[in-house]
Structure 1
Amino acid sequence: MNETKKRKELSTFLWMLITLTLIVLVPLTFFILYQISLTRSIATEERRNHLHTISHYLARELDGYISDSMEEVATLAGISEVQTYLANKERVPQEPEMLEFLEKFRRIGGYNAAYLMDNNGKCVASTSPNFVGKDYSFRPYFKNAIAGRRYFYMAVGVTSDIPGFYFSAPVYHDGHIAGVAVGKALISEASDNFSDEHVSKSMNVFLVTEDGVVIAGSNPAFMLKSLAPLSAETNEKLQKSRQFSNRDIPSLNYRALWDHIRTGKHDESTTHTDTAASSERLTVFAPLSEQNWHVVVSEDAAVVQAYVNSQIKNLLFVGLGVWALICVSSYGASRIMARTIGNMSETISMMGSGRHDLRLKPGGPRELKEMCREFNSMADKLAASHESLERQIAERTEQLRRKKELSENIIETAKSLVVVLDRNAAVVTFNRFAEELTGYSRKEVLGKNWLEMFIPQRDRERIRQVFQNCLDGDLPENVENTIICKGGEERTILWNNSVLRDGRGNITGTLSLGSDITERKRAEKEIRQAREKAETISRELAEKVNELERFNRLAVGREMKMIELKRQVNNLCDELGKEPSMSCPSMKPKAEARSSDKRIN
């Protein structure tokens, strides 16, 4: 008994420990998963916003750089010495004073080269001697400047083969454009902006032209490469402008990124795959105001994932600490609760065996003591209810027994047939009177089909339909039919039918009370035959009376005529004076005469 109790306590303890642990562990797990998801979302959004901020910051810096450089070149174009030099048709190329002036401008502005072109696009003075005498009229920066517009352009130098930014401005003299002033800055000057302190090593920053060609950036491997393969039309345009000095422009195969940039939705980020590094990158871009160029900033998605992983680790450490604390707390609580629940279980088991006098001894924490007191109170109520219930059951059982005996006595002593059929017309109840009437014993009949055993073939379909109507709830008031007894005798029975139902109201069979009306039917037949015979005799007697009345009428008439004849004879004798020779009775009423005739006859 003690071993069994210990096993039950151990089982209860383990169950309580697991239950209490799971009660907190499951919500804690969901909370951690929610925090992981939230952290991933927040971290990604933070990095996306950070990249947006950097891209717009760099775009503003480049815009400022381009604007300042164009202002500086415009200032150079506005100096009178430059205007006079270009307007002079007999100017000397590479005039020392002008060359010194250009060198000073280049050094102060941080340009790679500064030069002047006449209105035909020919370089007439330059800080790079090999530029002098070259024709650059095909360059867009010359075409726009000679048309009166300041212009900013990127190209690979035809002479130097060095990529750079070209800033041009028209040089006016007496209201006419005398030439163009140009300042060239190396790409590296602009790329320095992409190495700003705000740009981390995990980021990749580059400047993309309107044709999708990278012309500056923090990654030299991207320089002068297109994000997506260039179309034939774009290649033809670049060849004509010699923007990249007839170089082939290889593709980085960032088609999805280039398609996203072309949509112009610079407030949205995108994710693309770096084919070289085989990694996903989170990318944003910002447009420049001077050109249809874009500053693109991307960061390896692994950086965001690393931050998320660190947050997950912190959450897991916290979760494990909380879980361990819960386990320790649950262990102590489970030990006490298991012991109390074990005692309660044992007491309940014994109470189920009939020991309603057992009670728990309160012990342990206040909650368990309260539980024990509640249990004892419940046990007291249960014992009282059990005693009351047993008494009610005994009384109800006795009532049912008496009702059953009464019903059985009524059925057995009834001078009527009592037959109960189930839904298949099988006999369930067959009382003593039915046995006596049919000659079958109850044992022979129970379970047999009533229709096939007792109903003549001529009436079977009609009675089968009546039975089905009863099962469907359509009860006939009285049914009269013939049954076949064991000896082959047929008896006529008048039935009164009702249906039996289960606890859910479904019809389970029929209860039929039958009266033997065979003798009554026979008597009715004899009375009917006697009535018919009496009617026949009455008709014959009436005919005889009618014939007698006709005879009487004939006889009385003849007698009356004879009397009248005798009277006439006597009258004649009187007239002749002779004695009347015939007696002549006086005339009597017809009824009296008829009565006299009957007496004579």
Structure 2
Amino acid sequence: MPPSPPSSAPQPPPRRRRRALLLGAGLLALAALLIGAAGQWAAAREASFQADSIRRAMEVHVLGLRDSAGKYSYLPFTAALHPEVLAALAHPGDAAVKQRANLYIEEVNRQAGSDALYLIDPQGLTLAASNWATPQSFVGESYANRPYFIDARAGRSGLFYGVGQTTGEPGLFISAPVRSDAGAVIGVVTVKVSLRALQEAWTFVRDPILLTDARGIVFLSSVPAWMYQATRPLDAVQLERLRRDQQYGARASFPALPWKTQRGDGEPGYLVRTALGGKPRSFLAIDEPLPDLGWTLTVMVDHAEVTRARERTWMLGLLGAGVLLLGGLYWRLRERRFAEQRDARRELELRVRERTHELDEAHAFRKAMEDSLLVGMRARDLEGRITYVNPAFCEMTGYGADELLGKLPPYPYWHPDEVPRHWHHYDAMMSGQPALSGFESRLRHRDGREVITMVYTAPLIDADGGHAGWMSSVVDITEQKRAELRQRQNDEQLQHAQRLASLGEMASTLAHELNQPLMALSSFAGAAKAFAEQGNQALLASSLDETMAQARRSAEIVRRIRGFVRQRTAGTEDCAVAALAANALALLQGEMRQRQSRAEVRIPATLPPVRGDRVLLEQVLLNLLSNSLQAMQATPVERRVVELEAEVVEGRMEIRVLDRGTGIDDALAEQVFAPFFTTKPGGLGLGLNICRTIVEAHRGRLVFDHRPGGGTVFTLVLEIPSP
């Protein structure tokens, strides 16, 4: 009887097979969706980090721009008051007078270090200039078409960046009107400041930085090819204005920047695609408007890091999915093997041969996949003995598989300095509580170098569903840690630059705040000397007492401002408003006599006290009163009255300082409290900025308004402590 042919193994029904295929396809789709979402999250996170880095760098660049634009703003106002300048405008036909003006302006320009300083008559013709003896002298040139001349001729300060009509060199032009004794504008003084140093500094930055004017034209850039190109189209009116002003020389067209921009809702900046050095590049860009200068600063950073972050996340997700796929395949093969053991012996022998071949192929496939992984794989049994390592893990540690298999802890790749930590994670795993989110582990390679890894451990389940051990995925993150260290070092450098900028502002603040007490010291010391010569002992003692009081006041100002810079609480003292006003006015008695002014105080004695730092609040009143006295210099003597009044309004104390001065032009209203902005010749432009900072530290407000009939009203609003 011939042997019967072997029967086929039972096949699953078509419905079950379709269900399994649908389940597998659904799991694959879900895994792909999760991996894609993780990649997008990583890209958004990296973009947020880049935006933070841009903002930190932008703070440093903005400080540099404002310093370059502001440190020469005092020069035109100071020069406009000199007798030689006024004489040249009064006698434009006198060659000797104009020559003396030339020499004075030349010396002032040399001492200040600016590019050029020059005097223009009301018709726009240059009468004197610091470069009068050079071939490119401004003397005799007409600048009547330039906006900075037009602004100053109208009585305003001018700020204009453009290419010089005479030299062809770009620069920042700052102008101020020259006024007669009657207040009429009789000329204009202009200083030209070069931004070459800033341009040269930008050539060393890695990513592009650029400045655009109000029309969107690039006038300063670390990429020379972008100069004098526009971020948006210019209409005919704007082009005609540029041609008339000759802001950028004889240029008649401003082509669009070779950018393709992409903006997204809720993103920190926008994407710029362009070409640099013949290569396509993508940058994340953020704009910072500078309204006080009329410019916009744009800082960019390479967007390739965002793409790389997304790709790294996708790679890790695919590797994890591959590991899970291998685990599922292994489990499926074992299930099929146990199912076949229920068949007949003859069929079993045949199936064993067939399945053995299939298992060999699957094992070869699984091993090929595991050997190609960049993630290290390590399996341990329930006793902690290593039962499997892949080539990636052997490469991380420097030990071969034959040296690791069968090893119990401590393992040879444990770092000597981390042994307690390794034991901690090992004990947690053996107790069935491994770190589900993974943990960082420091290993020592066989050659002695350190390898930093992230370890993810999961239970290893056998075919019967029993716990057979632990499977760990080990990812080498050494390079990532080094990159994070470099990023921290870059952040520390930026913070150091910010601290240096704050140190410069604190030095200016101390110099300005100590000026008035030191002037009072000088006045009282001079009076003491005079009383000593006259033998008037009573007044001598009084002057010396005042001198000592001012010395203590100076020390107190230094101590309080230093504490304020350190961001400590301003003070906890109850201050009577009348006493604050009296102390401030006492320091201004000499100045009021000199300026032929007087003060009227309307402060009821029944007013409740305010709570704060007495010295700093007196300093605020002192600055406001002094500004009012100076503002009334051109006011008739009988109207030179500074008024000080206080009252409680809606539960808050309002202290008002009123004058009959020249008032504040509406065009300058937004710049009144800006640092380094001033309309006083020789002023630093810090007083009102400091006053507002002190008041805001007391949770108050400092505002100003026009006074009916002429003049200004400054209002100081402070909290009243609860009874």
TM-score of the pair, normalised by structure 2: 0.39
Return the index of the structure with the highest Cα Rg: 1
Whose helix fraction is larger, Structure 1's or Structure 2's? 1
Q: TM-score, normalised by structure 1?
A: 0.46
Q: Which has the higher contact order (CA 8 A, sep 6+)?
A: 1
